[in-house]
Chains A and B, each alone.
Chain A
């Protein structure tokens, strides 16, 4: 903190709990709750991000209500938590687990309290000690996914299995790059052989030139990948594996008209998790809910709804079957170990990356 003024300003505006500079770093989390119902579940997730039948099943079996609210970005989720709103369960993306854990905002989750914990924390499982939560103390894995390229096989025949395909001449003017800072920068970084999290000015400069060179091939930057493909606007789309699988298996009239590749330079891998905020009022119900979601039959139902793979052991064959026509949509252990993951960066690094990305989009 730069001294008195910042403190004074914070004091003068007591409502701004979010604006502060004294965040604790990696304190021990509050102890795990037991998986025992202690009230209705206050649930905070992306909209439409679990199969409704599974949520209904939990309500019926345990005789509690699931009170749902939604966020539209991780920043929004974080701001609500930081402002003191109480939720029993949230679904942070990996790097947000790092941040929430470091700030003491998550409660410990003891796998011994979960009957189905062995579905994700078995011997040799990557998730026993994932990069974002050492020792898996405060999170349980929910889904994993990768980012690649989806394309129209009826329009484009010259795909090469490289990120360079986002510069494909056949699809010129019908190519979309995800409107997502981390994803767009990662694509450029992988093409140039840099770390996906790089914030080195010289590397950012090279990436910027590369991304600007792409603009004449692009139709737009958009994260609405499914609709852009369904509507026929996109022939080649930088897209998320689960979105592709939903498009192909769930929406397309002719699934053979679409295909997906995981470029050879490497693909970003990300994970969503289950986590229980430190100030949750019903952590016991949240534990029971997580346990319920880890049951293989529920994971299978959720995968059939979301089309993202769940790292639940006995549900893996079901996903492999769902993705049998496009194995590139699956996330293997080797993918996880490559660790092309989006790490929690310092604000100066995020801002440098953001400034570059802004200039690309604005140029």
Chain B
């Protein structure tokens, strides 16, 4: 009896899923896939003398990517993005932990308090940082006023850029870590405390492994936008903090070279794909082993 009606029901279910998927699929094809196809096609294109990008079959844009300067920028951006990920994780864990385990009935309000500021445009928040951190800004005035030295040069340093990236994307680390901490059975931590005693050992032996999925997700969600960002370096950076995102943006604006910008985008996506596959494989293997 059960096997008899399983087949039509699953067919029905397949049909339902198909219908539900049609709209988002069409949406993604029209606005995401088509956009990507144009970028890939244009990466083999050129610019007419009037400044119009046109499709062609040239590999000149890819050959132009083999430039020491670009490689250096990519490595610098990688370093900034990794630093952003590490700092974000260091901030996200205590925050998520406090809310998930000690938030009580304020949990939702606290999560909202974290998320709501991120409704303000990233650009606006970067400008706000600029006002706060400038040499005569609020923070430095406060330092001087309280006699804590002569003020600190925050702006236009690599640290300002990384700080801006952390501020920009830390919420993408907090939320997944919070979600996995929420699901965590608190009795595990209590058991861990009984077994390992110290809170530090308990954290590393019980809490961290149990919330790994959230952390891994957060790492990707922070790393990817941080690596491609150009706003932080443009507004908070100095003469030596130019990032890959700035390079790409430049090609689509003043540089008047959409085809080269497209090739850079494709090259960057390929590099990121390799990094991501390596990362996913490594984390999957680790998950299997433990």
Binding site for B on A (CB under 8 A): 1-2, 5-6, 9-10, 13, 16, 18-21, 23, 73, 75, 99, 103, 179-182, 215, 218-222, 224, 227-228, 230-233, 346-348, 350-351, 354-355, 357-359, 361-363
Contact = CB atoms under 8 A, between A and B. Distances in A.
A16 B252 CA distance: 16
B69 A363 contact: yes
12 contacts: A5-B56, A6-B45, A19-B53, A21-B52, A75-B256, A218-B239, A224-B130, A224-B235, A227-B131, A231-B130, A354-B255, A361-B246
Which are the 8 A-B pairs with shortest beta-carbon distances? A231-B134, A232-B136, A354-B255, A9-B55, A232-B135, A218-B239, A220-B156, A181-B254
Given A18-B52, A354-B257, A362-B247, A233 B235 contact: no
Contacts of A180: 254
B136 A231 contact: yes
Contacts of A73: 253
A348 B69 contact: no
Contacts of B42: 19
A215 B53 CA distance: 33
Interface residues of B, number: 47
A224 B130 CA distance: 11
A179 B134 contact: no
Contacts of B53: 18-19
A13 B38 contact: yes
Interface centre among A99, A224, A231, A359 (most CB of B within 10 A): A231
Given A219-B156, A351-B255, A361-B239, 19 more contacts: A2-B46, A19-B55, A21-B48, A21-B52, A75-B256, A179-B234, A215-B240, A230-B134, A231-B135, A231-B136, A231-B137, A347-B257, A348-B47, A350-B256, A351-B47, A354-B250, A354-B257, A358-B69, A358-B250
Given A73-B253, A181-B254, A233-B155, A227 B130 contact: yes
Given A16-B38, A20-B54, A354 B254 contact: yes
Given A20-B52, A231-B130, A362 B72 contact: yes
Given A220-B156, A232-B134, A348-B49, A354 B72 contact: no
Interface in B6-52: 38, 41-42, 45-52
A362 B136 CA distance: 28
B242 interface: yes
Given A73-B253, A181-B255, A358 B247 contact: yes
B103 interface: no
Contacts of B54: 1-2, 6, 10, 19-21
A2 B48 CA distance: 10
A23 B47 contact: no
A357 B257 CA distance: 13
A215 B242 CA distance: 13
Nearest to A217: B239
A99 B49 CA distance: 12
Nearest to B160: A220
Nearest to A16: B38
Contacts of B242: 361-362
A232 B135 CA distance: 5
B142 interface: no
